[in-house]
Chain A
Amino acid sequence: MPKPSDLLQGTLDLLILKTLTRDPLHGWAIVKRIQVLSDEELSVGQGSLYPALHRLESQGWIVAEWKESDQGRSAKVYSLTRDGRQQLERELATWKRLSTAVGLLLKRA
């Protein structure tokens, strides 16, 4: 199982933004969602997650709000902003270019 630090720079941002497209989530739920959606292949450590979340927040891509969680405690819930959605489009495009290029190289080399 690859560690997040092994992920390419910027990929974590992409994963977080993508995870938040459907509905707002708190940090714990983001970790779980990434795990579930990647069939337990990807696991994001909290050590990387929170700095990344806060960086995205200070960039204005996502906004946070304190909400009651299902366990009855208030949790900081993040949601995607309109600007964040555009950023996600850009990151997706970059990602696709990159993975195509890597795929080509692996096939041809």
Chain B
Amino acid sequence: MSAVRFLRIARQRLTALFRPGAVERALDRELAFHFDALVREKMAAGLPERDAIREAHRDFGAVRTIREQSRDALGLTAVAGIVDDARYGWRLLRRAPGFTTVAGLALAVGIGATAAAAGVVAFLLARPLPFASGDRLVRISTTAVDGTLFPRTVSIHQYRAWQAHATTISALGASRGGSFVIADGVEPSERVQGQAFTPSLFTVLGIRPAHGRVFDAVADPFDRRARVAIISYRLWQRRYRGATDAIGRRIQVDGASREIVGVMPEDFRLQSDNVDLWIPLIFAATPADGQAQDMPLLLVTARLGDGATIDGARAELEGIARELHPERPAPSLDLASLRETLYGWTRPRLATLGAMAALLLTLACANVAALLLARGALRRRELAMRVALGASRRRLVRQLLTESLVLGLTASVPAALVTWAGLRAVAAALAPPPALPRLAAVTPDAWVFAIVATLCVLSSIGFGALPALAASRVDATDVSVTSYDQRLHSRRVPRWRSRLLIVQIALAEVLLVAGALLTISYLRLSGRELNLDPRGILSFTYTLRANDVIQPITAADGRSAFTIGSTGTRTFSDLLSRLEAIPGSGIVGAISFPPVNSLVVPMVSAIRVSPSGDRPMKVAYFLVTPKIFAALRTPVLAGREFDARDARGGPPAVVVNDAFAALCCPDGVIGQHLRLDVGDDEPVREIVGVVGSVPTRLDQPAVTPAVYVPYLQHPLQYRGIAVGMFAGMTFVLRTDGDAAAVLSAARAAAAAITPDRPLDEIGTVQAHLYARLGDRRSYVLALDTFALLAALLAIVGLHGVMTHDVVGRTNEIAVRRALGARGREILALVSRPSAAVIGCGVGIGAALALAASGLLAPQLWGVTARDAATFTGITLSLMAAASLGGVAAARRALSVDPASGLRRD
């Protein structure tokens, strides 16, 4: 069939469906026109008008017959039939409010959950990125070939060479994240998240500020034109109240004055949701100009040229990088579409949520199908009557399917509500809010509602087809069937009903096992030994201007290197003693990065100095003040904490955590010597203490081996990329007074030393812990909700079908009771089928769960995918709960009056 014809026919059918009145009127007009023409012809032949009309009536024949036939041809009859069926179905639903509520809610939950997951998938992975031809954008990162610490970095040289020579990419830009203190002498100074953008990045992304202009492409980082900044719409509104003259004002960014040249569009997001400031990222012409060759944490974004593929671009860029440094190992580049790097990492959780929601929907469909089967048996007489009156089987199936559709569409209203709430829940379950740009803005739109509608229609067919086919298998003689009767139940129906129950229980088992495994992981992860006491700690970060502490130098081999001045330690010591002088400040310590949940922890390589020469290990590296472990209440397991001995000039010392001790020297760790690869002047250090392992990331399973170095003994020549640790520390106060008073005194103390450096990230360690676990908790909660709803649905379904069964067997039970059967025997008799169904369902479910739970393994912690205890526990609980449902239904049998059997027939 040609597409034109198909569209034409579809349009006609739709008109017949939605505007039947218009089609009827057109038909009448057409016939009237013909009639008048006939009359005119007769009058032209000489007949008087009255006779002409009479003859025309005779010739025209029965207008009604013509109309009926034409209405058939135009599809109006079928439409009227469907409308009638739908109306009838709606009346049936209203007459059975219990059934309608249960079925409608089951469907609403299944459809809503699936639509929410599908809506987020569509939002993240299908909708165009908000950049011009966003699907041509790629992210470039180098993969580790020489075991460098941060694997994903690109050197400035590589970047320049690509920009000059690559033909597969049409534009190249880079960015780097960071946080900056802004001040303008009017509003209080504050710390904001910022990004440095090369001017070319605006071209790559195809974006323009909402107001003002982009950065000038200048070659010299010290050019006056590079001393500019663009602010976010949010910051513009908050700090400048949207004033148009904000552009052109000057603002202090980390102490350097910059001119505001633009305001970004309100919805612009690249890496995360919380960026408020953009400054130019300008690479010096030669490294000698003061910038190191390697640019750590540089995110390179490119636009593919016409016709170029990701693979082609990778090959070309790798070739260029190889020529640049023939002496280094061949680099291996990681190119991925921008969308993939922004959102691809959410796939495991998204897939799990989507799969669980789809299983829940399947279960809901099976549930409703079983309910419909049961009702079909009750309606056997009505359907037989229709057959007796001449309805074809096809007509019956159409009627029953239309009724299912009415039920599905009825469920679409609560389903849309569930979807609306579910979108937020899914978004919260994927990642902490700022990490997935724009996801916070996900709202139900036309797409989402289209998904809901499609799912409603599909599931109507899904749950309606089987009951419709089964129920339409009647013949006219069934009219004589009286109410409940053995013949109500053709043998097929109970068999199908049992199968549907087994499906439900099996799916519920699968969902429960998955939910339980992830819940156990979450609980083990959040309840594990922290080796610090988060309650009652006040913490904040205090950061100096990097330029005042750190001077970059060019190292011979091209690795980043810096000289570290004494300003940092001097200032920190000053602040430390001022903090200790505050009444109620308690124990005061400081550490170079937050002890838990820091996004960045510098990793260095450590080698034990021994005659045999040990292998180097990657360890987390922290600079700490003496009382830090006391302040955190981290247990000192062996040796000692740092104290006044561990000053510059004192014997080089190091404290390690027990994860490190176990790896390095199982045979006694105190007194061993370590060499840390942090700089040329780094001495060999003696291990003086072992402390309990604090998990550096609470949401990640592994405990990192860590070393702690006295802050006064930091290297003076640092080689590495985490230079930030020399310019800032996180202060930890185990207060014994009013925390608010201590905090304001601490602010005053910091302001007395450096008026322009505010305290940041003020909070309690406890809040910090939960902020990072929040998304995992939402995720587990969402999955548990699915699993519990699944179990509930399955049990309600079992109860409903069993009740039906008991009612259907009333006569039999009455006769048995009359013949002297005891209650327990009756109970056993009617419970037997449900026991078989439960046993089968749980068995199949457990087998399915065993086969599939391996897929969850990467998301599990502290529990294996086939954990026997979990499987047994879930299986037994589900069996117990389902049996209770079955028995509750079976108890109805006990209330059957033995005399009723006699009365019925």
Chain A residues in 8 Å Cβ range of B74: 54, 57-58
A60 in contact with B8 (CB, 8 Å): yes
Provide the B246-282 mask, 1 if CB < 8 A to any CB of A, else 0: 0000000000000000000000000000000000000
A51 touches B34 (CB 8 A): no
Residue of A whose beta carbon sits closest to that of B10: A60
A73 to B30, CA, bound (A): 11
Is A21 interfacial (CB 8 A cutoff)? no
What are the residues of chain A within 8 A of B73 when measuring CB–CB?
Answer: 51-52, 54-55, 57-58
- Chain A 31-67, CB-CB to B under 8 Å as 1, else 0, gives 0000000000000011100111111011110010010
CA–CA, A27 to B38, complex, Å? 11
- Which residues from 1 to 39 on chain B have a C-beta closer than 8 Å to any C-beta of chain A? 2, 4-6, 8-9, 12-13, 26-27, 29-31, 33-34, 36-38
Q: How far is the CB of A62 from chain B (nearest CB, A)?
A: 10
- Are the CB atoms of B30 and A50 closer together than 8 Å? yes
Knowing A27-B30, A81-B5 touch, does A47 contact B61 (C-beta < 8 A)? Answer: yes
Cβ contacts under 8 Å, B9 to chain A: 58-60
* Bound Cα distance from A107 to B40, whole angstroms: 45
Q: Which residue on chain A has the smallest CB distance to residue B33?
A: A75
- CB-nearest residue of chain B relative to A75? B33
| Per-residue A-contact encoding for B37-50, CB less than 8 Å = 1, 0 else | 11010000000000
A90 within 8 A of B: no
The interface bits of chain B over 58-93 (1 if a CB of A lies within 8 angstroms of the residue's CB, else 0) are 011110011001101111000000000000000000
Interface of B is mostly: helix
Task: Determine the chain A residues whose CB is within 8 A of the CB of B72 once the complex forms.
Answer: 51
Query: Inside 8 A of A52's CB, which chain B residues have their CB?
Result: 73
A18 within 8 A of B: no
Cβ-based interface call for A83 (8 A):
yes
Q: Are A83 and B2 in contact (CB under 8 A)?
A: yes
Q: State the CA gap A55–B73 with chains docked (Å).
A: 5
B residues near A55, Cβ cutoff 8 Å: 73
Chain B nearest Cβ from A12, distance in angstroms: 13
For residue B61, which residues in chain A have a CB less than 8 angstroms away from its CB? 45-47
Interfacial chain B residues near A63, Cβ < 8 Å: 8
Which residues of the other chain, B, contact A96 by a CB distance below 8 angstroms?
none
Determine whether the beta carbon of B70 is less than 8 Å from that of A54.
Answer: yes
CB-defined contacts of A50 to chain B, threshold 8 Å? 27, 30-31, 34, 66, 69-70
Report whether B33 and A57 are in contact in the complex, using a CB–CB cutoff of 8 Å. Answer: no
Q: Nearest-CB distance from A59 to chain B (Å)?
A: 7
Interface size, B (range): 20 to 34
Neighbouring A residues of B13 by C-beta, 8 Å: 58
Convert A75-86 into 0s and 1s, putting 1 for each residue whose CB lies closer than 8 angstroms to a CB of B. 110000111000
Most chain B beta-carbon contacts within 10 A, residue among A63, A69, A83: A83
- Smallest CB–CB gap between B38 and chain A, Å? 8
Contact check, B65 vs A47: say whether CB atoms are below 8 A apart. yes
What's the Cα separation between A45 and B5 when bound, in Å? 28
A27 touches B66 (CB 8 A): no
A59 to B26, alpha carbons, bound, how many Å?
A: 18
Q: B66–A58 contact, CB under 8 A?
A: no
CB distance from B39 to the nearest CB of A (A): 11
Smallest beta-carbon distance A48→chain B, Å? 9
- Among residues of B, the one whose C-beta sits closest to the C-beta of A82 is B4
Residues in B with CB closer than 8 Å to A45 are 59, 61
Q: Decide: A46 and B4 in contact? CB cutoff 8 A.
A: no
Using known A-B contacts A47-B65, A51-B69, determine if residue A81 contacts B8 with beta carbons closer than 8 Å. yes
One of B26, B65, B66 near A76 (C-beta < 8 A): B26
Assess whether B34 is in contact with A46, with CB atoms less than 8 Å apart. yes
For A59, what are the chain B residues with a Cβ–Cβ distance below 8 Å?
A: 9
A75–B70 alpha-carbon span in the complex (Å): 17
Query: Whole-angstrom distance from the CB of B5 to the nearest CB of chain A?
Result: 4
Closest to B71 in A: A54
Q: Once the chains bind, are A57 and B12 in contact (CB under 8 Å)?
A: yes
What is A's interface to B at a CB cutoff of 8 Å? Answer: 26-28, 45-47, 50-55, 57-60, 63, 66, 69, 71, 73-76, 81-83
A-B contacts, 12 of them at CB < 8 A, read A46-B38, A50-B69, A51-B66, A51-B73, A53-B70, A54-B74, A55-B73, A58-B9, A60-B4, A60-B8, A63-B8, A76-B26
- The 8 nearest A-B residue pairs measured at CB: A51-B69, A54-B73, A60-B5, A55-B73, A28-B37, A83-B5, A54-B70, A76-B30
10 other A-B residue contacts (CB within 8 Å) besides A47-B69, A75-B30? A46-B31, A47-B60, A47-B62, A53-B70, A54-B70, A60-B6, A71-B40, A75-B33, A76-B29, A82-B2
